[in-house]
Amino acid sequence: MSNIILEMRNITKTFPGVKALDNVNFKVREGEIHALVGENGAGKSTLMKVLSGVYPYGTYTGDIIFRGKVCEFKDIKQSESLGIVIIHQELALIPYLSIAENIFLGNERAKKGIIDWNDTITHTRELLKKVGLNESPNTLVTNIGVGKQQLVEIAKALSKKVQLLILDEPTAALNDDDSENLLNLLLEFKKQGISSILISHKLNEVSKVADSITILRDGATIETLSVEKDNITEDRIIKGMVGRDLLHRFPKREPNIGDIIFEVKNWNVYHPLHDDRKVIDNVSFYIRKGEIVGIAGLMGAGRTELAMSIFGRTYGRKISGHIYKDGKEVHLTTVSRAIENGVAYVTEDRKNYGLILIDDIKRNITLANLKKISNKFVVNENQEVLEAEKYRKKLNIKSSSILQKTVNLSGGNQQKVVLSKWIFAQPDVLILDEPTRGIDVGAKYEIYTIINQLAMEGKGILLISSELPEILGMCDRIYVMSEGKITGELSREQASQEKIMKYVVGHKKGA
């Protein structure tokens, strides 16, 4: 068929301690829609950042060949000048500028630094027509919905004479109609000869529009499927995405499960800014003593929002529902109340929400429970040193001393400090949100051991994770969340990666 427009050959990219991409090969043909799929952390976004020059030439190994020429991009500008344009998951529009200003931002229609507004508006009109957006070029971006903003991004890409359009999860925030609209637009571009790379978790969309599908797993290319040759089904794609060795990655534990310790009933939460957007939709679940309960799902499924809305209502508005601790209803309206009632939440974002990076290990560990080492007002610093030392030893926090600033610790050790803090708060229920994100394998095992130990002590654990093997390896029972709802519940015996994936992706196009 047609020519190869882009080839990425043997791309390897390492971050400190992690190999994010390992000899990845990836080919896109002229005028096709090529889908890139894989689990969270499989390396899709990293690969696209390498391609667009976000990670400049020299920080990775391997070759990028675009239209037969080897490219060495130093920044995004260089890749854009060749017509490679990436639209990120988080839209990069400036809310209080108009559509026209946004489209030509950094690329202004100007002579000697003075903007030609007539030219700008005319061009914007043309571009908006192409993407089928019926709005005035002078409308502020903040005044149009997410779906339309996505179209503005695409119009912006078109203004740069795009030849290869990369869309990272373009429909994640869109409703069904807007998604449909966007996919049709991609098909339209295809007719005009523009190639696209589509990163998506929504396999129904992928199988609808893609000509080829490349599957990444753990930073490596697994296979490339072609619509012409292969018989592509969602099951076939899921099989490629999952399926890896689970042995020996998780410490053993004999579950000793007791009565229900924590239960949430009919929990509803609305978005803090958009009043009409329901983020959590009638969720009910329970945790028993000594049980590790998993919540699986994709990013954006509402798992973190669920956890934070429960933990002192730190997320969302118009929250309704009931929480029971040991059978009695509790009202965890503030964080301190949640802590007093024995609930702890270990955040997924330890640097921004978990640690005070400029403070030392000691002060971070004791922050959530200063009561324990003080007589109401005055902190007993000697007692504090003893406690901090205890946790440093117990959780094996590798550091020069408890006076080391947490900013200088590795990810795994930072996470151990956060865990220490919450264990020190003496909770009965721990909500762990992505506790092993960005942590190397060895430290992961240590953290799994700590989690198991907490369960053995009779605490209830809620483990939120995007990594299916982690969920399967650690949990006694698993809930699957998708778009704010719990779409399935599986026992340890029933659960498999394929079954979970089906609940994750299958939910949407039942409708």
Q: How far is the CB of 68 from another protein (least distance, A)?
A: 45
Separation of alpha carbons 452 and 449, rounded Å? 5
Q: How far is the CB of 55 from another protein (least distance, A)?
A: 23
Q: 160 or 421, CB closer to another protein?
A: 421
DSSP symbol at 510: G
> Cβ-count burial of 28 within 10 angstroms (0-12 exposed, 13-18 middle, 19+ buried)?
buried
Q: 199 or 346, CB closer to another protein?
A: 346
Long-range contacts of 65-72 (CB under 8 A, 24+ apart): 65/6, 65/7, 65/8, 65/9, 66/5, 66/6, 66/164, 67/5, 67/6
Q: 146 or 356, CB closer to another protein?
A: 356
Beta strands in 77-211 (DSSP E): 84-87, 110-111, 114-115, 164-168, 195-199
Q: Which residues bind another protein (CB under 8 A)?
A: 311-312, 314, 334-336, 338-339, 345, 347, 352-359, 363, 367-368, 370-371, 374, 376-379, 381-383, 385-386, 401, 403, 407-408, 421
Q: 92 or 403, CB closer to another protein?
A: 403
Q: How far is the CB of 381 from another protein (least distance, A)?
A: 7
Q: 142 or 336, CB closer to another protein?
A: 336
Report the candidate in 47, 436, 1, 5 with the shortest Cα–Cα distance to residue 215. Answer: 47
Q: 353 or 445, CB closer to another protein?
A: 353
Q: Are strands 18-29 and 4-15 parallel, antiparallel or unpaired?
A: antiparallel
CB atoms within 10 A of CB 293: 23
Q: 253 or 351, CB closer to another protein?
A: 351
> Cβ-count burial of 367 within 10 angstroms (0-12 exposed, 13-18 middle, 19+ buried)?
middle
Q: Are 250 and 463 in contact (CB under 8 A)?
A: no
Q: How far is the CB of 357 from another protein (least distance, A)?
A: 7
Q: Are 503 and 478 in contact (CB under 8 A)?
A: no
3-class DSSP string for 73-95? CCCHHHHHHCCEEEECCCCCCCC
Rg, C-alpha atoms of the chain: 25
3-class DSSP string for 258-315? CCEEEEEEEEEEECCCCCCCEEEEEEEEEEECCCEEEEECCCCCCHHHHHHHHCCCCC
For 220, phi then psi, to 5°, come to: -130, 150
Q: How far is the CB of 422 from another protein (least distance, A)?
A: 9
Q: 383 or 494, CB closer to another protein?
A: 383
Q: How far is the CB of 100 from another protein (least distance, A)?
A: 31
Q: How far is the CB of 365 from another protein (least distance, A)?
A: 11
Q: 298 or 343, CB closer to another protein?
A: 343
One-letter amino acid of 305: E
Q: How far is the CB of 32 from another protein (least distance, A)?
A: 44
Q: 231 or 382, CB closer to another protein?
A: 382
Q: Which residue has the tokens 């996470």?
A: 415
Q: How far is the CB of 364 from another protein (least distance, A)?
A: 9
Q: How far is the CB of 360 from another protein (least distance, A)?
A: 9
3-class DSSP string for 363-419? HHHHHHHHHHHEECCEECHHHHHHHHHHHHHHCCCCCCCCCCEHHHCCHHHHHHHHH
For the chain, counts of helices (H) and of strands (E):
16, 24
CA dihedral over 472, 281, 261, 396, signed as positive or negative = positive
Q: Are 285 and 323 in contact (CB under 8 A)?
A: no
Q: 137 or 312, CB closer to another protein?
A: 312
Q: How far is the CB of 412 from another protein (least distance, A)?
A: 18
Q: How far is the CB of 409 from another protein (least distance, A)?
A: 13
3 state DSSP class of 33: strand
Q: 212 or 366, CB closer to another protein?
A: 366
